[in-house]
Amino acid sequence: MTTLAELATARCTPLRGPEHRLPTGRIAELLRLLPEGWRQVDDGLAIEKTFRFADYHRTMAFVNALAFIAHAEDHHPDLGVHYDRCVVRYSTHDVGGLSINDFVCAAKAEALLAR
């Protein structure tokens, strides 16, 4: 996948084991595809972005839409939900770091805002 649109339309697949952990160079490539604000955290084991909204209602609408995507993809983010923002963090625990699924779901989260 070489574009944000390709990431956003891809599907997550079940991944287990460290052989599915992305190498540092691939993580850097994929991070460059994502819109501004995404960054590596937890010593490079996760990616995170804070999405800001005008009010609680809009924040919760985003959270609920993201929950629907997480269920459909069977890949669930850690969320920090606040009045006017939501902190979204992806990591693939079954591989011990970042997998392609984290970037697919990050792109899907971004696509929610483009609607």
Task: Name the residue with tokens 């997480």.
Answer: 70
For position 2, what pLDDT does the model report? 78
Residue ranges of domains in the chain: 18-113
pLDDT in tens, 43-53: 999 999 999 99
CATH class of the region 18-113: alpha beta
For position 114, what pLDDT does the model report? 83
78/45 Cα distance (integer angstroms)? 13
pLDDT in tens, 19-38: 999 999 999 999 999 999 99
For position 1, what pLDDT does the model report? 63
> Confidence band (pLDDT; 50, 70, 90) for 115?
low
